[in-house]
Amino acid sequence: MCGFPDGMGNKYNRKKTRHIGFSIWLLSTSEIQDVASLSRIFRRISVSWTSIKIQVRIVQDFCKLAWDYIAKGVNTKLYAASSQKLDISAQDLQHIVEALVNVLLEACKHKLSIPKLKNSLTALEFNEKQAEVICTFYTAKQVDINNVLLAASVHLPMFKDVEWRIQSQLASRALPSQMTPKILMNLKLDNCESSNILLQTDPANLVHLTQVLESALNDATNNHSTRIYRRYKT
């Protein structure tokens, strides 16, 4: 893990407090440190290569590494090759890429505007040109990143159909008194694969279950729930 030089950690912690309104600060301390390490590498690049085109291209390469991580996962061979060019270890490079990935993911989750994202990057001491490159990449890939987040989210089973029947034994020689009927239900669900679930209940529990489901359906269709759904719909 890339660490801070002496005294630098406190400086970033202070900045974290001042900029608590930005979703960037949902990152952990170690992730903030890795993003700060990335900004220091960019500053070192700015000193080593005065050409703006070269600086921009290297920042773009880091953004491409971040997108490759989001879409395909860890690529150790790619990090090993890229780390040699920057004179850092492959592990440090991976940590830095993961920090940049978290910045992009949090920005997409909370639908950060470009000015807010740029302010957050500036707080981590990215210069204006570097912040512009990252913001441009964020704008270009925002839809794709949201699609990846949607695909990775939890998929709950969807109700498809239900079959039911009532089973009741009115009386027998061993049990002459009347028995409570049982309801047998076969729930058909759709998810990645179709599945059936067999349930057995009595009339009292079935009435209670129906009341709870009707209440949930009413809550899901009221104005407040509709506004929340529209707010967080991807």
The domains of the chain are located at 8-152, 158-232
Q: pLDDT tens-digit profile of 44-80? A: 555 444 455 666 777 888 888 888 888 888 888 888 8
Q: pLDDT tens-digit profile of 197-223? A: 888 988 889 899 889 989 988 888 888
Mean pLDDT for the stretch of residues 12-21: 33
Q: pLDDT tens-digit profile of 109-120? A: 888 888 888 888
What local confidence, expressed as pLDDT, does residue 97 receive?
84
What local confidence, expressed as pLDDT, does residue 53 receive?
63
Can you tell me the distance from the alpha carbon of 96 to that of 102, in angstroms, rounded to the nearest whole number?
A: 10
Q: Which of 81-85, 117-121, 159-163, 191-195 has the lowest mean pLDDT?
A: 191-195
pLDDT interval class at 128 (50, 70, 90)? confident
End-to-end CA distance of the chain: 34
Q: Which of 33-37, 88-92, 145-149, 197-201 has the lowest mean pLDDT?
A: 33-37
What local confidence, expressed as pLDDT, does residue 26 receive?
43
Report pTM. Answer: 0.51
What local confidence, expressed as pLDDT, does residue 136 receive?
92
